[in-house]
Amino acid sequence: MTKHDNLIGGEWVSSGDYHANINPSDVTDVIGEYSYGDASSVDKAVDAARSALRAWRNTTPQARHDLLDAVGNKIANRSQEIGRLLSREEGKTLAEGIGETMRAAQVFKFFAGECLRQIGDGQPSVRPDIDVEITREPVGVVGLVTPWNFPIAIPAWKIAPALAHGNCVVIKPADLTPGCAHVIAEILHECGCPPGVFNLVMGRGSTVGEAIITHPGVDAVSFTGSVSVGHHIAEVCGKMLKKVQLEMGGKNPMIVLNDADLSIAVPACINGTFFSTGQRCTASSRLIVEAGIHDAFVEEMTKALQRLKIGDALDKETNIGPVVDAKQLNSNLSYVDLARSEAKEVIGGERLELGKQGFYQAPALFLGTDNHMRINREEIFGPCGSIIKVTDFDEALAVANDTSFGLAGGICTQNLKRARDYKRQAEVGMVMVNLPTAGVDYHVAFGGRKGSSYGPREQGRYAAEFYTTVKTSYIFAG
């Protein structure tokens, strides 16, 4: 069995404590053993990052560009193999795994370009003979804590801007999916990333994650994951006055108006609600449907659901892979039970035995629901969607905005005015018109409002807001 170690100060370091990475499509398939770090591994990683910081922040933009560009090329060249690893450890389909790997490659290449487009501003002072310069500098050592549902894209979209803007990194990937982050570490190492600039410490959130967020040598923390851990990190970082960026859950609405083109709306809702097994913070979990199209929409959705093939993530025929682990599956099944008491009707949602020891679940559609039910207030994070019938656009808008979350929101309509009205009034960070709520571009801002996100946006040029700090200099040349 291949053993995989942590990368600390440019060395592969074993803690002696290895844990198996298991395939959720078939738990008899063990992908490899991954080293568990602890608080002392984090101390060493933070020390290495602090020692490397001065030299790294002073490297030329060209040197940083060349490193990130080379990493992006290597990830792209290995996309089939890495995508397969991703699907094996997380359970999304092979097409999704390869697609996510290419997205990670593009993220590295985008931020390679950003190294050469550093933002700055020069102005004359309001006083004579003085120049004013506003420049951006790295924040310092950043701690990155990532979830299992996008095991290569999310580490990539945190690591690449951190390094591009001259920071050093300590990352803890999710315990369920350490494989892809380990591959990024291998590639950064092979491409000549200087020792200490990038450090990988795998292990549990309660030990390694906690040690990163509380470490006084970590200047800023970027986290994606659950609301409860996000709130805890906000408290810790608030007390220590650390910069913090949190991406948490969603209960994303997709409005389907009477004039929607069902040949667009149904595939958008099937994709947004069920693809990646519904394990996306951008998933459309509330389908808010105007009364005039409700019955036709339900009929088409039901037919489309029956065509979906649930199976092993590596099987080319599979549309929906397994749930990530037994804990998430049990949580999903308990929400399906709840739906049986709250909704008028439940289609699907049962556990599937497919002749393999995997965590398979039929996609679930909850019919005849209203927005006050728990199934429509709490994030399920599985292949489950609710239909909420409304009388008109105003009610649809009110229901869409009536949630503690505010990540993504969508509308299917052929009426430009309605689409524009929704775009203006949606209390979310990302709006989709005639498109699934999930599945975003890699080069533009990502994030939400209300309980979904906290701190500056991720991705694209906006990532600079979190990974840099502003300095204003006054120069009197005599």
Ligand X SMILES: O=C(O)CCC(=O)C(=O)O
282 binds, among ligand NDP, ligand X, none (CB under 5 to 8 A by kind): ligand X
- The binder of 393, among ligand NDP, ligand X, none, by C-beta within 5 to 8 A per type, is none
Taking residue 120's Cβ as centre, other Cβ atoms within 10 Å add up to 10
CB of 378 to ligand NDP, least distance (A): 9
Place of tokens 């650390």: 242
Name the helix (H) or strand (E) containing 63: helix 61-77
Q: Does 147 bind ligand NDP (CB under 6 A)?
A: yes
Active site residue 114: no
Q: Which helix (H) or strand (E) holds 273?
A: helix 262-274
Distance CA 469, CA 134 (A): 10
Catalytic residue, candidates 114, 247, 290, 342: 247
Contacting range for ligand NDP; rule: CB under 6 A; set: 107-115, 168-176, 304-312, 409-417: 168-176
Binders of ligand X among 282-301, rule CB under 6 A?
282
Backbone phi and psi for residue 224, each to the nearest 5 degrees, phi listed first? -130, 130
Residue 310 touching ligand X (CB under 6 A) = no
Binding mask 435-454 for ligand X (x = CB under 6 A): ---xxx--------------
DSSP 128-163: TTEEEEEEEEE-SEEEEE--SSSTTHHHHHHHHHHH
From the list ligand X, ligand NDP, none, partner contacted by residue 139 (C-beta under 5 to 8 A by kind): none
Q: Which of ligand NDP, ligand X, none does 358 bind, CB closer than 5 to 8 A by kind?
A: none
Binding flag, residue 248, ligand NDP (CB under 6 A): yes
Query: Cα–Cα distance between 386 and 376 in angstroms, integer?
Result: 7
Residues 363 and 348: beta-carbon distance below 8 Å: yes
User: Which one of residues 149, 222, 273, 403 is an interface residue with ligand X (CB under 6 A)?
Assistant: 149
Binding mask 223-252 for ligand X (x = CB under 6 A): -x----------------------------
Are the beta carbons of 270 and 282 closer than 8 angstroms?
no
Q: Which of 445, 404, 408 has the alpha carbon at shortest distance from 281?
A: 408
From the number of C-beta atoms within 10 Å of its C-beta (0-12, 13-18, 19+), residue 237 rates as: buried
Least CB distance from residue 149 to ligand NDP, whole Å?
A: 5
CA separation for the pair 49, 66 (Å, rounded) = 20
Which candidate, 460, 287, 61, 436, places its Cα nearest to that of 447?
A: 460
Task: State the binding partner of 245 from ligand NDP, ligand X, none, CB within 5 to 8 A by kind.
Answer: none
Pattern of binders to ligand NDP over 310-349, x per CB under 6 A?
------------------x---------------------
Residue 272 contacts ligand NDP per CB under 6 A: no
Active-site residue list: 247
Q: Which residues of this chain interact with ligand NDP, rule CB under 6 A?
A: 145-149, 172, 174-175, 204-206, 209-210, 213, 224-226, 229, 232, 247-249, 281, 328, 379, 381
